[in-house]
Structure 1
Amino acid sequence: MSEGPDLDDLKRRMDGALNALEKEFQGLRTGRASVNLLEPIMVDAYGSKMPINQVGTVGVPEPRMLTVQVWDKSMTKAVEKAIRESDLGLNPQVDGQLLRIPLPDLSEERRGELAKVAAKYAESARVAVRNVRRDGMDSLKKAEKDGDLSQDEKHLYEEEVQEMTDKFVSRIDEALSAKEKEIMQV
């Protein structure tokens, strides 16, 4: 068989879309405390934006409570402000250099909103996987046009790329379904 597309590279890129989705899902609040909840928050520190885990230690002392132990006392206000201004609906309480962040119960309406956000994340991941498929198909067409692949070989590779795409899209759907179930769980 002639030189086809780099299927390992396509698989790696599709894996990347799935991993990014799982990371985004970890940041969605489901009523249980998780250090990943604060991961996307950026703090104005020392003249630049820094992830919250680079200015303090995030902990989970109880299932419905997060804590942030700020390393530099002068950064406490900035960390508190960053948490309040995030779209997570959290209200930190300052105790010296320790911020206690109780997680409020999720209302039915808020759960519905979170499920919609999760669906949006999943759709972005599906689009990313389809873009990888498109790149793979384009490289197949080019290889056939350049005479590197026969029509039959191109057809076989197209089937492989489509099969891989379908597998990743179904994994994304499974992840979304699991996340929606977790969000709606009271």
Structure 2
Amino acid sequence: MSEDLDLILADTEDTMRKGINHLESELGKIRAGKASPAMLDGITVEYYGAPTPIAQVANVSVLDARTLSIQPWEKNMVQPIERAIMAANIGVTPQNDGVIIRIFMPPLTEERRKELFKRASAEGEQSKVAIRNVRRDAIEQVKKLQKDGMSEDAAKDAEKTVQDLTDKFIALVDKHLAAKEKEMMAV
């Protein structure tokens, strides 16, 4: 019975951690006025008939705080990469010199910062909902174990442990959101 409980708790923590990892990757895609290669995550380009992430067909690097450089490994990929970035509508216009694509980050306006923070907050809220759903599922599993013969005290302890995990991960979400807000609001 105890090993079932340990498995439930380990699985709960692992799933909540995956939710935090997802939040981190989503927040990384939201630009905060600084150039970041993570902005291009999720943008694919047609490469020999297959949709391929830009990072797998070019070297993406940060030249300075506001400039991103994309150097395709094959010269014929410059135009398709530029078109893919334009189609992704990430709020920037790529500059192409025939060899390298540069993306200059314009400074964020106050209105745009607030809009981006709303998007970040929505991602945080989705993460909190996912974490609470994991908590609900774990508590249901604990109650099922209790029906199968686990003591009431052990079930209450397990539920408290699940709640503690939930609180810990929700605090982590808040911490990530606060850091992202600070990054966005810095001029």
8 Å Cα contact 1:21/1:125 also seen in 2: yes
Q: Distance in 2 between matches of 1:87 and 1:114?
A: 14
Please tell me whether the aligned partners of residues 129 and 168 of structure 1 are also in contact (alpha carbons under 8 angstroms).
Answer: yes
Q: What SS class does the counterpart of residue 105 from structure 1 fall into? A: coil
- CA deviations 1:88-127 (Å, max 9, x no partner) are 1111111122101111111111101100110011111111
* Residue deviations 1:6-45 (CA, integer Å, cap 9, x gap): 2122111111111111111111111111111212211122
- Code of the aligned partner of 1:104: P
**Aligned ranges for residues 61-72 of structure 1 at < 5 Å?**
61-72=63-74
Rounded to whole Å, the distance in 1 between the matches of 2:104 and 2:2 is 60
What residue ranges of structure 1 are gaps of 5+ in the alignment?
none
> Quick check: 1:139 aligned with 2:163?
no
Write out per-residue CA displacement over residues 138-181 of structure 1, whole angstroms, 9 at most, x where no aligned residue: 1111111122x111211110011001101100110111011112
Task: Tell me the residue number matched to 2:180.
Answer: 179
User: Which residue of structure 2 aligns with residue 161 of structure 1?
Assistant: 162
TM-score (norm 2): 0.94
The gaps in structure 2 that reach 5 residues or longer are none
- The answer for the alignment partner of 1:80 in structure 2 is 82
Classify the secondary structure of the residue corresponding to 1:122. Answer: helix
The CA RMSD measured in Å over matched residues stands at: 1.3
* Residues paired across the two proteins, number: 185
Q: Who is 1:117 aligned against? A: 119
Distance 1:2 1:54, change over 3 A: closer
| Cα deviation 1:26-74 (Å, max 9, x = unaligned) | 1111111111121221112221211110110001112111110011222
TM-score, normalised relative to structure 1: 0.94
Alignment-derived partner of residue 151 in structure 1: 152
Identity of aligned residues (%): 45
